[in-house]
Structure 1
């Protein structure tokens, strides 16, 4: 399996787990509450596969950073959370940091 596809899958599963947290309404709804653990377990399992070929610092930064940025965007678009210029700039900085870290890991 391509490690970058594995990392992308791990990110999607992590985002799904976080969305399930919101939908669980504080563990009061059974299905989203169970899905939190299913999605996060699957995310960690697939992230582990990606770590076979991608440096841990790079993989974790991408997993956490992209996941955070996606959740922030989903929060604004789907859950109608308030948007501000500062929030937009902060999301951009997360993405810029992940790109910068990834570029610093390139071997010459």
Structure 2
């Protein structure tokens, strides 16, 4: 399977797992907790598979950067968290940093 596809699956799984953390209420609710465990398990497994081909620094930068940006967007969309200029600029800087790392290959 394509390494970038595996990395994309890892990002989506990590965002799903991270987004469910809020629903666990401190790991007191079982189903959201199971979702967190499943999301992170899939994320780490597919990330590890992508690392068979991709350089560690690049893969981790994409995984953490894109995951952070998407998790922030998930908070805005699903949890009605506020969006402001600073948060928007931070997301854009993360995406820009990942793009810059990709261009250095």
Give the TM-score, by structure 1 length: 0.93
Hey, which bits of structure 1, 4+ residues long, moved more than 2 A?
none
In structure 2, runs of 5+ residues without a counterpart are: none
How many residue pairs align between the two structures? 105
- Map 1:18-97; keep pairs closer than 5 Å: 18-97=18-97
Aligned to 2:3: 3
**d(CA) in 1 for partners of 2:43 and 2:97?**
22
Aligned to 1:14: 14
In structure 1, runs of 5+ residues without a counterpart are: none
Give the TM-score, by structure 2 length: 0.96
**d(CA) in 2 for partners of 1:27 and 1:78?**
19
Aligned-CA RMSD value: 0.8
